[in-house]
């Protein structure tokens, strides 16, 4: 007899887990010291947590469950983000109630991400009033189309500078903000984000992706894209404000 759709989906999900959570060999990043700038979380640590989260995913686990069973020293918010990624591999509940709950969670997540993005961009605006927010870029696109320009670029990163600007000592033309933790095995999301970032590089040149909770070492490994944690960028902004006040 042919397998059911649910069985096939489960098998596919398990296959993705097996390929995604294999623990890699140790690298330079695995020997991170606490007295050097943040370079990301070692891939081995992320893989162990993600593998356990995938094993527990059908039992409605909490971040505390994953932390307890892996004895990881990763922060609760980071483990929560990794667990959320693992839960994405569960079969989709397509019942009316399941659809409603899924939509509600998506709306809440979208709102939370938007608030975090606005707060981050506000801090950048306090240093540079030339930058364009995403909505400002959209408004310019709409105006150009109304004027008959159908060849207008329709890509809108969260922040677009009119020219290359130095952020944390890195020359970039654009910044994309992610209200989560970035890692290779993140189902569906990592691949989608990479496609997005590559498009920005192709059109605007070098840029930066900023993850609120940090990221896995050597991620996302795209030429022309620098990766930073929000904490370091905010610290740089405050230091830059102090420096500019001293120069004035």
Q: Which residues of the chain have pLDDT under 50?
A: 1-12, 20, 22-35
Give dist(CA 190, CA 85) in Å, integer: 10
What pLDDT is recorded for position 105? 94
**Confidence (pLDDT) at 57:** 96
Predicted pLDDT of residue 247? 81
Residue 71 has what pLDDT?
A: 98
C-alpha triplet 197, 232, 134: angle, nearest 5°: 40
Q: How far apart are CA 51 and CA 129, in angstroms?
A: 44
**What local confidence, expressed as pLDDT, does residue 14 receive?**
52
Query: 166: burial class by Cβ within 10 Å (0-12, 13-18, 19+)?
Result: exposed
According to the model, what pLDDT value does residue 150 have?
Answer: 84
Contact 217, 36 (CB under 8 A): no
């Amino acid at each position: 007899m042919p397998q059911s759709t649910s069985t096939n989906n489960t098998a596919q999900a398990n296959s993705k887990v097996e390929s995604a959570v294999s623990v890699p060999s140790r690298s330079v990043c695995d020997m991170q010291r606490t007295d050097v700038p943040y370079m990301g979380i070692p891939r081995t640590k992320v893989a162990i947590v993600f593998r356990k989260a995938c094993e527990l995913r059908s039992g409605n686990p909490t971040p505390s469950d994953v932390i307890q069973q892996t004895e990881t020293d990763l922060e609760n918010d980071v483990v929560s983000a990794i667990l959320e990624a693992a839960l994405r591999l569960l079969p989709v509940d397509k019942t009316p109630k399941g659809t409603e709950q899924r939509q509600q969670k998506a709306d809440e997540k979208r709102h939370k991400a938007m608030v975090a993005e606005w707060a981050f961009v506000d801090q950048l605006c306090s240093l540079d009033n030339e930058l364009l927010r995403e909505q400002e870029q959209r408004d310019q696109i709409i105006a150009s189309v109304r004027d008959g320009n159908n060849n207008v670029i329709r890509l809108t990163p969260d922040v677009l500078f009119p020219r290359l600007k130095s952020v944390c000592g890195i020359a970039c033309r654009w910044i994309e903000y992610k209200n989560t933790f970035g890692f290779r095995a993140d189902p569906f999301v990592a691949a989608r984000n990479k496609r997005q970032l590559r498009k920005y590089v192709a059109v605007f040149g070098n840029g930066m992706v900023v993850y609120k909770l940090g990221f896995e070492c050597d991620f996302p490994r795209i030429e022309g894209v620098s990766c930073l944690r929000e904490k370091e960028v905010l610290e740089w902004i405050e230091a830059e404000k102090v420096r500019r006040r001293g120069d004035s």
